[in-house]
Structure 1
Amino acid sequence: MSLAVIDRNDVVLRGRLSAPPELRPLPSGDTLLVVKLVVRREKPRPGGPKSDVFTCVSTLRSLHRHASAWAPDDVLEVEGSLQRRFWRTPTGTAVAYEVSCRRARRIAKAGQRTAPRSA
């Protein structure tokens, strides 16, 4: 049985952009787009968090161009895969989970109403 049948890593998120998109130069010479997406939880526990913040990244130049028009509180939809990244810090190894985006689009500009969620 092939891995394509066994494994699947697809992520689709829709949420609010919490800060302006950031372009970070990498040591490799590539540029990394970093966006933080706030996604409300469908059924939060009483007294618990009502939303989660996901870091979404991409090296795709086409997304870099689109992101230049995005602003905080815009509603975005991103598609990609979940990845775990490790790096060294002065105090040891750090780890983060990120959505590696292959597509992203703005659903609504900040302040615009979006269509109600279906049940």
Structure 2
Amino acid sequence: MSGNDDNMVRLVGRVTSLDAPRELPSGDVVHTLRVTVPRPRARGRDRPGVDTLDVACWSAATRRAASRLTVGMRVEVEGSLRRRFFRAGAAAASRYEVEAARVRRLPDEAPATEEVRNREARRAPARLA
């Protein structure tokens, strides 16, 4: 691996679901939430799409921050993308989630401001890692 490799995720969106913290058989506690982030409007589509991402809060600080959130709040999540493996019946399955290193509530933004930000995102050149 190159010294320039990095796995950093930053999401700014709205909380769309919150689970209660749960204790795993290992004794670890995890608090999960779901964040929805709007996509810029694609050509030929009537409305913009969204990305819905699962976020896992493992540390005491991120669990505490998650416990103060409610559905509909704007949040910023910083962390890393993780692939989680599990059994679904007899089959093995996997899914990706963001492992939060930091979670913080953001003030609500006026809809016009969100539209301006989406418009700017469409104009900005795509950044490839």
Q: Which runs of 5+ in 2 are unaligned?
A: 121-129
- CA distance, structure 1, for counterparts of residue 71 and residue 4 of structure 2: 38
Q: Provide the rounded CA distance (Å) in 1 between the counterparts of 2:48 and 2:94.
A: 22
Give 1:21 deviation, angstroms: 4.3
Please say if residues 37 and 56 of structure 1, whose CA atoms lie closer than 8 Å, have aligned partners that are also in contact.
yes
Q: Is the 2:31–2:56 Cα contact (8 Å) retained in structure 1?
A: yes
Separation in 1, partners of 2:103, 2:86 = 26
Q: Offset of 1:90 from its aligned partner?
A: 1.6
| TM-score, structure 1 as length reference | 0.83
Provide the rounded CA distance (Å) in 1 between the counterparts of 2:42 and 2:50. Answer: 8
Q: Give the whole-Å Cα distance in 1 for the aligned partners of 2:38 and 2:50.
A: 4
Cα contact 1:25–1:32 (8 A) shared by 2? yes
The aligned residue for residue 89 of structure 1 is: 88
Q: TM-score scaled by structure 2?
A: 0.77
One-letter amino acid of the counterpart of residue 95, structure 1: S
- Deviation for aligned residue 1:57: 0.4
Provide the C-alpha distance between the structure 2 equivalents of 1:65 and 1:8, rounded to a whole number of angstroms.
26
* Match of residue 113, structure 1, among 99, 109, 115: 109
Identity %: 33
Aligned residues: 114
Larger proportion of helix: 2
Superposed CA deviations along residues 48-72 of structure 1, whole A, max 9, x for unmatched, are 8610110000211111112222100
Q: RMSD over aligned Cα, in angstroms?
A: 2.1
Give the unaligned 5+ runs of structure 1: none
Partner of 1:18: 16
Matched with 1:67 is: 66
Q: Residue type matched to 2:88 in 1?
A: T
Write the distance in 1 (CA, Å) between the matches of 2:2 and 2:33: 29
SS at match of 1:22: coil
Structure 1's consecutive aligned runs of 4 or more residues displaced over 3 angstroms after TM superposition are 112-115
Q: Would you say the 8 A contact 2:57–2:66 is kept in 1? A: no
